[in-house]
Structure 1
Amino acid sequence: MRDFVHLHVHTEYSLLDGFARISELVKVVKELGMKAVAITDHGSMFGVIDFYKQAKKHGIKPIIGCEVYMAARTMYDKDPVKDKTQGHLVLLAKNMTGYKNIMKLVSKGYIEGFYYKPRVDLSLLEKHREGIIALSACVAGNVQRELLNDHYEGAKQEALKLQAIFGRGNFYLELQDHGMEEQRKVNHGLVRLSKDTGIPLVATNDVHYLRREDAEIHDILLCIQTGKTLEDKERLKFSTREFYVKSPEEMEKLFPYAPEALDNTLKIAEMCNVEFDFHQIHLPKYDVPYGYDANTYLRELCYQGLKDRYGNPDQELKNRLDYELKTIEDMGYVEYFLIVWDFIRYAKENKIMVGPGRGSAAGSIVAYTLGITDIDPIKYNLIFERFLNPERISMPDIDIDFCFERRQEVIDYVIEKYGKEKVAQIITFGTMAARAAIRDVGRAMNMPYAKVDAIAKQIPFQLGMTINKALELNKTLKDMYDTDEAARYLIDAAKALEGVPRHASTHAAGVVISKEAIDEYVPLYMHDNGITTQFPMGTLEELGLLKMDFLGLRNLTVIRDALDLIEKNHGIRIDFSKMSYDDPKVYEMISRGETLGVFQLESPGMRQFMKDLKPDCFEDIIAGISLFRPGPMDSIPKYIAYKNNPAAIKYLHPKLEPILNVTYGCLVYQEQVMQVVRDLGGYSYGRSDLVRRAMGKKKMDVMEQERQYFIYGKIDAKGNIEIPGCIRNGVSEEIANQIYDDMIDFAKYAFNKSHAAAYAVLGYQTAYLKCYYPVEFMAALITSVMGNSSKVAQYIQDCKRMNIEILPPSVNDSDAKFTVEKGKIRFGLLAVKNVGLSVIEAIMEARRQKGRFVSFMDFCDKVDTREMNKRAMESLIKCGAFDHMGAYRAQLLAVYEKVLEGIHQDRKRNIDGQMSLFSTFEEVMPQTMKEDVLPNVAEFPSKILLAMEKEMLGLYISGHPLAEYAEEIKEISTVTTGDLLDLRDEFENSDLKDGSYVRMAGLVVHRQNKVTKNNHMMAFISLEDLYGTVEVLVFPNVYEKYVSLLTEDSAVIVEGKISMKEDEQPKIIAEKILPLTKKQKYAGEKDNGEKMKLCLKISRDKDISLIEQMKPTLEKWKGNVPVYLYVEGKDRKMQVMKADKSLWVKIHRELLEELEKMLGHGCVKVHESDPLSSNPSHLGVG
């Protein structure tokens, strides 16, 4: 048997075409006894580093390559007929020179040669030929195409051209046999060519998947790529099932007539030797002032910053700074800090808002003294080693937030400073997540939508969820899989494709800066948003490149705009750097849950948590942000209880108190885990971070080894104590084990305190602005979400709660953004549909130069109407921007086109020299434009005026069609559109989930009927409440019952379940629809006569007298909903009691909030089924 190496392989990074997963590919190659394998993805090099590492890990020699596309003429020709097709050519790197040349070719193919595909040409190959072996590729290769067309001489010329470029011995004619007749014809010609020219043969299989049986999944993948179904006979389809990783024996049987073609695969593999060095760092050089080197300049900047931050710093601060500086110098990251300091300095000097910090960088005093962060790491006990650790070699990671509107200015500065060829944005890959994979595969298989949707809905909607995990967690899904053959086939196919890259896009914030031109280190990719690297962020870091996250944070723009408005209206400029974070009024506002718009504290769940927690110091905010996540949320009741009763806190050992007292005895932060192993076990700072990482990543073998060291210590080979251990430090074995167990249990959820502290700074700052300058803050906040009418409506409702009046748009008083006018908020013109910045600038310039507009005609006279198109004028009229001038909207809509046309004609006459230089506007104005001849028409009805506002502004401003039902909606609805809007950002922390039963009252503003495949009618309706709009799906069985209620402008109550999909707004699946009437009472009656139930849990640590205390509250909300009490006994058993009918209630948000204040977070729930018919422990009332 001859040995063989696969040299033509398409991995999952031949997007939606290759299905040879790299992680499995190297294993299959090894199982089949092959010692090397190549990667040759179509036109790109996305996966080469991952491939290299995986191959090395499994003892397989990696051969780096690419199958490039050859332009029909030159790569710059882009004729739709002549240049639509491309040839294929396989390129393999012999060495690093070849690797770099292939990178250059691939990069230029995207950036300069892209036309349908990234193309190169012979001229470019000539320029970058060194260190490359070329293979003639598949039947789509230029040589093979000539042979297929019976042009032997043409094929010969193509082959000789390529041999001339790459040199004798570096170009091979590629034999393939996948059982296709055209390949047999081509192979006959290739053998003849080889004999005639001396160009050697090489045998390959065009690998697109790993095993023969994977052909079906690959077929589905092609359907997903092309948007076709398996039933479509005209679709792209591989004609055989032979495109897999064949064994050497199988390959030998295919080519008995060319044994040298197999031998040449080994020869080529031996010639290809690319080795990556993952220990080099390619930081750009920072030019320091004369007389300094990088080290001395960084030290100078830090010591100056130390004085600025601390005044007269003590020795402890200097020691901390010196320690960090030495670590940074030893690890070679001095230039890194200077580069970051420089562009942050540029931003601040140019009044671009910069965030206080993000992530573990906030633990560095170097970052603090340089002004990179604004959180004092000493005051808040933040740990440097969580950021940079000499015992864990990795690039430092500083993510920086900038004002959303001006982020690009900072990136432009970096590009200008270091050169555009050295700076690029970073690629990211969208992969097939569990639900998306099921939906994609279902479409490809042409399965009924309802069936696919039902299966997809069984996948829990949470981060990191996989199909296998869902099968373990969800019995319904498992039953479907076990009993339904079609469902099982769908799920298995989706599992096979889960995690496969689906598309490439640009990382929202990532930017890479290199020492030399970027394409010296990584290949480049051309995307709609510009040029990006072909390697994702993690790979760039492994290659030693400087990666930065330049994040645009909307909240910083809000703070900036609010500070500007405050300065304008009150004459003061607030400086947060000089502010302490201890204002009682701010904490009182947060404790009332009035934090809509406050950074990190505005979601419904977080607002309720703040009401329960009642934070009174900055550490509470940091802890709150850390706890309000899946996992740690279970500790919230304990945290609140200990905060309210510190005497109940018990520490397993006295040494834990100084570590955990700031969080009331609860383990909350990763930094606390590090501090525990240091203070009790005697670990070094660096090693404590390794323990933290092992716990966070659930590395059980590492954790158990560290347990031994933590308890008993570690002695090195020379008998020196490397780690003292708990026992040597006076902590018993039993207690040490218990502490370690607690840490393991919580460390997987523990949060980075540095990150939480940075978030808390912005949370406090925005809360301070809302507390003391609510009008300016809300104006800035609403401006920041002008493109999101639901959010605007939500914030305007909050303004009404605070008695802040919202003034309508006005051509006389509005600016582009929302502004403050005598304690009221004036609508910004940028929020008006069809009104662009140029129109607004023309209006504002006219006001500055010529004064206020006294009438519509005066407006037309003063404003440069070259910028004022008809659509913009119509929008301004409809939204009410001229209402204050006395004319009706109906009158202005009747004449505005004639007015604009008249002005246009006047201007034309003026240009033609037909108008006297001394004529006045009044003299030449067409008669139809004069003020006193506005048509004598009545104003539109209120309903139409409101509809105009909604059309132009996305919401109602002068009133609301549902205003008369406001009280009923508040009483009836269990959810608002605002809650559903927040749900996308908070689905893991919210009580509302996919499938949650909800009730919403609102207005049917749009209805679209659709006939199903079974010829039944269903509808999609847009339901609007006081905050925004949600889509409601009304399936046939519900449609038939309630179709009479689904007319547009009908006020209805919809009951149903939330439906959530990736990248879509939540919807409601209607189950019941009722008319909404004035003064309606609603007790939650369902079709089957059952009622909603209110379940209240009184936990062991609460006094039973609470039942008496609750009575007045329950009586205040008297209604028809039964109340059940769950009283937890000392033995933890639950006693269930049904309250007397005199204490039954009507469900209302205020009632639930009052009860939760008394009973605590999570102790108040509304249910649909009878609690007494179920085991109380499963009701979720605890």
Structure 2
Amino acid sequence: MFLNVHSSYSLKYGTQSIDQLIATARHLGIHQMVLTDINNSTGAVEFIRECYKQGIAKEADEIHRGNIPYQIKPVAGIEFRIGNKLLYVGIARNKEGMRELNEFLSHHNIYHIPLPEVPPEMENVYIIYPFQKTFNQTLKENEFVGIRGKQLNFLYGHPILKQKEKLLVWHPVTVGDKITYRLHEYLRAIELNTLLSKVPDEQKCNPDEFLIPEAILTQQFEQYPFIVQNTQKLINSCDLSVYFEDTPTPSSKNKFFYTANFDGDKKMLRELAEKGLRDRYGENNAIAIKRLEKELRIIELKNFCAYFLITYDIVRYAMEDCGFYHVGRGSGANSIVAYCLRITDVDPIDLDLYFERFLHEKRTSPPDFDIDFSWDEREIIQQYIFDSYPKWHVAFLGTMSTFKDRAIIREIGKVMGLPKEEIDSFTDPTKERENLLNATYQKLLAVHRYMKSMPNQRSIHAGGILISQEPITYYTALDMPPKGFPTVQWDMYEAEAIGYEKFDILSQRGIGHIREAVQLIKKNRGKEVDIHDFPKFKKDQKLNNILKEGQPIGCFYIESPAMRQLLKKLKCDDYLTLVAASSIIRPGVASSGMMKSYIERYHAPEKVVYLCDVMKERLGETYGVMVYQEDVIKVCHYFAGLDLADADILRKAMSGKYRSKLAFEELVNKFKVSARNQGHSEELVNEVWRQISSFAGYSFSKAHSASFAVESYQSLYLKTYYPKEFMVAVLNNYGGFYSRWVYVHELQKTGARVHLPCVNQSDEVVTITGEDAHLGFIGIQGLEEKNIKIIPQERKANGPYLDLEDFVKRTCVSLEQAILLIRLGAFRFTGKDRKTLLWDVHNYLGFKQKKINHAELFKLSYKTYELPALMDSELENAYTELELLGYPLNYKMFDFLKTPYRGDVMTADLHKYLGKTVRMVGNYVCEKTVHTIKNTKMWFGTFLDANGDFFDTTHFPNTTPMYPFKGKGCYLILGKVVEDFGFQSIEVLKFAKLDIQMNPVAID
């Protein structure tokens, strides 16, 4: 009977979740509802599914109470609005009706076309217009008018009575009660960016828009029983039960076949996998063949052939048609089929990876591949996917952000009309204790508590793409975010509940480093590098020595201070240790103490005491410490005797992804019973289980770590043998963990001659020719985008610039932009100093510039003047570089200091001063703030000494002021030299930023 129900998916309008709506309806004895959210169908399938599920779950309880169990009949549609103007509501008669509604809305969203006043013909949709006193149009067969109880007085003599079969009961639902109506007002104020008191009534719902018993609703229309009958007839004719699947796992909605049918897919996948097997392992590798057959059987059983083939096609297009480099990571790297199809470069046999971590016979939720491309190539791959499949069959996965972020407190404060200073104090975590005593803050928090779990806005997933068998529009309308690809209106959790497996097409800058370095090596040195020759890289002693020293700056995943420290503590000099390091560096593992335990056992394996022979055999590689998710599977399988499928189910359940507590307890009991049946004692079983349960929540996939480690080795190889080209590539792909100047410093350390930007040498990005690298125009702060592009384009088209005058005429640059380039030395090829050039440019552009749109017939010269000799100061130029580049290129930060003192000790000699207090001077690189168990702050710092070597500091709360770091610059550090597994650092006792010389320009 309720034809127009809004959930909280009517963003910043509706106030109730799907669950709340259904629970309220059941409480009031309501039998039918139509969910019609505003301009979206986000909750439609969820609403249908939950109505049926709750009905089934409540049935036994209802019978127990002596009540007749009933099912809420769910119907869905969409309410169409322009701004706040209600145009009409569309209600789906059936599944085809949902598709028609979704495609109608999608068309307008994708092509940014305003919704029409009258919708087009939709065969399986009912259209309901809101009643108006002036309503006087002839309605089509599927069109109706909804009238509220309060509007019935206007029916007397109204023309609509000539079509009385078209009148329907209209009772919109938006809020739950008076409290949530107030919440609705807050939401509207936030949406309109105005004060609560200034939200117009027409922008809000009516205060009575909440669910009421059906009997009360029909009573309002007792003088017009035909209206109730019309409404009931309409709802009775709707049937969306096809959307509910009463099974633990929904049927797959992904594209069923890559070829014409399942047999074609099986044949193609087998042929590709067997060919790849020969390429990867050679002929007649019995272990690989057996593993391949096992995987293919499970892939076929789970109807996953098409998923593998579509992923293969994406990778094939990237490699063969585009020449792109990719990384296949995540649990998909556990598959030998994926390895043979070159979806991943991780060898699962070499690393003893379990396919069951990715896919097994009992898996209920679909897995997915994570494929990384370079940050600037991913969009080409995405476009290929969208071009390869029909309209409405491919879309990006959406995301749904909520109001949980404390930033919403600021929004609530604004609509309450609080002054900025008071709002700032409410969002300051250091003032939380005193804020809790503030009545206004308490009111603000009360609103936030109601709001924090509500949907705030729809967005786009980082890389998830859905490819469907039937049109996706059966399940959702599509948005068109700024990214430019159609996007579903729900997130990955709803996608999984419906039955979709996503294809994760992701990006990272590390791949860009590798790709461009290979290109630069070919261009600058004429050498081809096979970056996929990983077996060669992992055996290279030079690479392993650099790992051991912990200095892989610029290399993907292993350059951060924490990772550098770990590599040095482990004396990591091989691939398997790097794989382990990539896992134990994760915050959960480190904070739980497992990282320290692993390092201790790594250095003293002879002292490791294993719980039993099975643990020694299966965890010997990691010294009895569970480092990977696969270790949980190993222990459950080999120790407890669970099959691999059940072992992975238990592993997943322990990571917090299991919804049923009862089912989880059954798995735990199964583990213990099975372990006892293997002959293990009760004490041993309980201890193994304790170790598993304490670790599983922190665990990381070994395949994921291995994928990262492969890429780290590739970066390391390039940095070791082609350091100049590699560091240029890092700079051109916008660096990594550190600020840009750190990578420029690393480039200089390679022996490259790094030059400031020059209008006759530089391009948009950093370039390298031989040993000479020129910084690009992109790094100049304040230089406009158009000039970054025009300067090198004009030079390449019409030859080098002759002088400043020629440059000004050919580029039509503004005075301000020309001054930036002159100050940075970009015209040094003219032989004139910067100050002379500044005089000259004012002669050329010190008046309103006339744009030259054509070549000059005759060269016209400007007047020239005799100038006195103007002195250029090295310190002044360094300050200019600091201002315009963010760092001085040819002048160390230490050279800015007033004092010549550079510390008593350098990094290279720290090992000689263990336990002693030393003074050092360090150039600030970065810092990390952490909270202690007592909720106090401590810091970790990273610095460069005067020799250009890194050292690290620890700042404890009792010896450090509240905010010890004051940005870039050099610091005097007094501290104790400590060592942890061979890694030296400084425990800071005193710490202060050093004074610098004044800029000569400022002195003048």
Instruction: Pick the TM interval, shorter chain.
Output: 0.7 to 0.9
Partner of 1:793: 741
Residue type of the partner of 1:893? L
User: Distance between the aligned counterparts of 2:541 and 2:416, measured in 1?
Assistant: 61
Is 1:964 matched up with 2:896?
Answer: yes
In structure 2, relative to structure 1, the CA distance for the partners of 1:934 and 1:906 (3 Å cut) is: farther
Partner of 1:502: 456
Q: Report how many residues are paired.
A: 933
Q: Is the 8 A contact 2:90 2:101 kept in 1?
A: yes
Partner of 2:366: 395
Partner of 1:465: none
Partner of 2:834: 889
User: Distance between the aligned counterparts of 2:933 and 2:481, measured in 1?
Assistant: 37
After TM superposition, the structure 1 = structure 2 runs for residues 1050-1089 of structure 1, keeping only pairs within 5 Å, are 1056-1057=962-963
Q: Is the 8 A contact 1:876 1:882 kept in 2?
A: yes
After TM superposition, the structure 1 = structure 2 runs for residues 882-921 of structure 1, keeping only pairs within 5 Å, are 882-896=827-841, 915=857
Is 1:828 matched up with 2:784?
Answer: no
After TM superposition, the structure 1 = structure 2 runs for residues 591-740 of structure 1, keeping only pairs within 5 Å, are 591-633=548-590, 634-697=593-656, 699=658, 700-712=661-673, 725-740=674-689
Identical aligned pairs, as a percentage?
27
1:522 to 465, 470, 476: 476
Partner of 1:164: 140
User: Distance between the aligned counterparts of 1:316 and 1:232, measured in 2?
Assistant: 73
Q: Is the 8 A contact 1:946 1:961 kept in 2?
A: no
Q: Is the 8 A contact 2:598 2:625 kept in 1?
A: yes
2:758 to 810, 818, 836: 810
User: Distance between the aligned counterparts of 1:630 and 1:296, measured in 2?
Assistant: 44
Q: Which moved more, 1:831-840 or 1:200-209?
A: 831-840
Q: Which has the higher contact order (CA 8 A, sep 6+)?
A: 2
User: Distance between the aligned counterparts of 1:671 and 1:92, measured in 2?
Assistant: 49
Deviation at 1:701, TM superposition (A): 3.1
1:749 to 690, 694, 698: 698
Q: Is the 8 A contact 1:588 1:616 kept in 2?
A: yes
Is 1:69 matched up with 2:91?
Answer: no
1:174 to 135, 147, 150: 147
- Offset from partner CA, 1:905-964 (integer Å, 9 cap, x none): 9977868xxx4xxxxxxxx432328xx868557256556644544554344334377732
User: Distance between the aligned counterparts of 1:800 and 1:113, measured in 2?
Assistant: 50
Deviation at 1:757, TM superposition (A): 1.3
Other structure's SS at 2:2 match: coil
- Offset from partner CA, 1:505-553 (integer Å, 9 cap, x none): 2223233333455535531113333332223334344444553222122
Is 1:42 matched up with 2:38?
Answer: yes
Deviation at 1:18, TM superposition (A): 1.3
Is 1:133 matched up with 2:122?
Answer: no
Deviation at 1:305, TM superposition (A): 0.4
In structure 2, relative to structure 1, the CA distance for the partners of 1:703 and 1:364 (3 Å cut) is: same
Q: Which runs of 5+ in 1 are unaligned?
A: 71-83, 177-183, 460-475, 713-724, 916-923, 1003-1025, 1028-1053, 1059-1067, 1083-1145, 1169-1182
Is 1:549 matched up with 2:507?
Answer: no
User: Distance between the aligned counterparts of 1:972 and 1:504, measured in 2?
Assistant: 53
- Offset from partner CA, 1:713-736 (integer Å, 9 cap, x none): xxxxxxxxxxxx223323223212
Q: Is the 8 A contact 1:42 1:66 kept in 2?
A: yes
Deviation at 1:192, TM superposition (A): 4.5
TM-score by length of 2: 0.83
Q: Is the 8 A contact 1:969 1:1001 kept in 2?
A: no
Is 1:229 matched up with 2:201?
Answer: no
Q: Is the 8 A contact 1:892 1:934 kept in 2?
A: no
After TM superposition, the structure 1 = structure 2 runs for residues 441-456 of structure 1, keeping only pairs within 5 Å, are 441-447=412-418, 449=420, 452-453=423-424, 456=427
Q: Is the 8 A contact 2:465 2:504 kept in 1?
A: yes
Deviation at 1:672, TM superposition (A): 1.0
In structure 2, relative to structure 1, the CA distance for the partners of 1:687 and 1:1001 (3 Å cut) is: closer
Other structure's SS at 1:281 match: coil
Deviation at 1:456, TM superposition (A): 4.2
Other structure's SS at 1:20 match: coil
Is 1:29 matched up with 2:46?
Answer: no
In structure 2, relative to structure 1, the CA distance for the partners of 1:454 and 1:762 (3 Å cut) is: farther
User: Distance between the aligned counterparts of 2:461 and 2:35, measured in 1?
Assistant: 25
Q: Which runs of 5+ in 2 are unaligned?
A: 56-71, 904-917, 950-959, 992-1004
Q: Which moved more, 1:963-972 or 1:732-741?
A: 963-972
Q: Is the 8 A contact 1:281 1:543 kept in 2?
A: yes
Is 1:928 matched up with 2:877?
Answer: no
Q: Is the 8 A contact 1:109 1:120 kept in 2?
A: no
In structure 2, relative to structure 1, the CA distance for the partners of 1:218 and 1:851 (3 Å cut) is: closer
Deviation at 1:503, TM superposition (A): 1.7
Is 1:303 matched up with 2:251?
Answer: no
Deviation at 1:1165, TM superposition (A): 7.6
User: Distance between the aligned counterparts of 2:230 and 2:549, measured in 1?
Assistant: 76
Q: Is the 8 A contact 1:67 1:90 kept in 2?
A: yes
Q: Is the 8 A contact 1:344 1:354 kept in 2?
A: no
Q: Is the 8 A contact 1:43 1:67 kept in 2?
A: yes
In structure 2, relative to structure 1, the CA distance for the partners of 1:796 and 1:727 (3 Å cut) is: same
Deviation at 1:774, TM superposition (A): 2.5
User: Distance between the aligned counterparts of 1:769 and 1:61, measured in 2?
Assistant: 63
Deviation at 1:493, TM superposition (A): 1.7
- Offset from partner CA, 1:950-995 (integer Å, 9 cap, x none): 5543443343777322988999999987525xx5xxx7x7889998
In structure 2, relative to structure 1, the CA distance for the partners of 1:559 and 1:872 (3 Å cut) is: farther
Q: Is the 8 A contact 1:637 1:1160 kept in 2?
A: no
In structure 2, relative to structure 1, the CA distance for the partners of 1:874 and 1:458 (3 Å cut) is: closer
Partner of 1:272: 238
Partner of 1:511: 465
Deviation at 1:300, TM superposition (A): 0.9
- Offset from partner CA, 1:770-825 (integer Å, 9 cap, x none): 33333222111111117x99821232344456665532112333333223344454
User: Distance between the aligned counterparts of 2:229 and 2:443, measured in 1?
Assistant: 41
After TM superposition, the structure 1 = structure 2 runs for residues 1101-1140 of structure 1, keeping only pairs within 5 Å, are none
Partner of 1:532: 487
In structure 2, relative to structure 1, the CA distance for the partners of 1:909 and 1:491 (3 Å cut) is: closer
User: Distance between the aligned counterparts of 1:831 and 1:910, measured in 2?
Assistant: 31
- Offset from partner CA, 1:192-223 (integer Å, 9 cap, x none): 45533223443343222223322222222222
In structure 2, relative to structure 1, the CA distance for the partners of 1:368 and 1:1166 (3 Å cut) is: farther
Other structure's SS at 1:697 match: helix
In structure 2, relative to structure 1, the CA distance for the partners of 1:90 and 1:909 (3 Å cut) is: closer
Q: Is the 8 A contact 1:775 1:824 kept in 2?
A: no
User: Distance between the aligned counterparts of 1:453 and 1:969, measured in 2?
Assistant: 41
User: Distance between the aligned counterparts of 1:748 and 1:660, measured in 2?
Assistant: 18
In structure 2, relative to structure 1, the CA distance for the partners of 1:502 and 1:114 (3 Å cut) is: farther
In structure 2, relative to structure 1, the CA distance for the partners of 1:822 and 1:173 (3 Å cut) is: closer
Deviation at 1:671, TM superposition (A): 1.0
User: Distance between the aligned counterparts of 2:29 and 2:569, measured in 1?
Assistant: 64
Deviation at 1:644, TM superposition (A): 0.7
User: Distance between the aligned counterparts of 1:357 and 1:905, measured in 2?
Assistant: 55
Residue type of the partner of 1:926? L
Q: Is the 8 A contact 1:856 1:882 kept in 2?
A: yes
Deviation at 1:844, TM superposition (A): 5.2
1:248 to 181, 203, 214: 214
User: Distance between the aligned counterparts of 2:650 and 2:687, measured in 1?
Assistant: 16
After TM superposition, the structure 1 = structure 2 runs for residues 419-458 of structure 1, keeping only pairs within 5 Å, are 419=390, 422-447=393-418, 449=420, 452-453=423-424, 456-458=427-429
1:197 to 163, 177, 185: 163
User: Distance between the aligned counterparts of 2:215 and 2:27, measured in 1?
Assistant: 13
In structure 2, relative to structure 1, the CA distance for the partners of 1:540 and 1:999 (3 Å cut) is: closer
2:824 to 875, 879, 894: 879
Q: Is the 8 A contact 1:55 1:61 kept in 2?
A: yes
Q: Is the 8 A contact 1:11 1:21 kept in 2?
A: yes
